[in-house]
Amino acid sequence: MKARLLRDAERLRLEGELDFVSAIALRDELAGAIAASAGQPLTLDLSGVTRSNSVGLSLLLSAARTATEHQVRLQASGLPVGLLSMAAVCGLDEWLETLSAANDSTLEIPNAGQ
């Protein structure tokens, strides 16, 4: 299934296969949706992602950077196991944990773009 972004109030849901082709279109669409939520909390739900490679982690980092720019308190939920594994290899597992909506913390995400 081709990847797509769905919006529902304070939730953005990514569905389908995240690969290099789908990520190009999704990055701009995701950035626009995050910017439209300026100053508001927003959850990025990845539970509908059926397959992801390193581009999924790149997309998440890009989303975090956009959220920081627009003062959006971004959290992520439904993170695929493969994405969590890649984050650990890259040393981003602790950062990703702070982003996780499963974490009871209300901390805002760190500046991923710096």
Q: Where are the alpha helices (DSSP H) in 36-75?
A: 54-69
Q: DSSP code of 20? A: H
User: Would you place residue 16 in the very low, low, confident or very high pLDDT band (cuts 50, 70, 90)?
Assistant: very high
70: amino acid identity, one letter: H
Phi, psi of 97 (to 5 degrees): -65, -40
Report pLDDT digits (tens) over 44-103.
999 999 988 888 899 999 999 999 999 999 999 998 888 888 888 989 888 888 888 654
> Pairing mode, if any, of strands 4-8 and 11-18?
antiparallel
Report pLDDT digits (tens) over 101-112.
654 333 333 333
Q: Is 97 left (phi over 0), alpha (psi -120 to 50) or beta?
A: alpha
- Classified as helix, coil or strand, 38 is coil
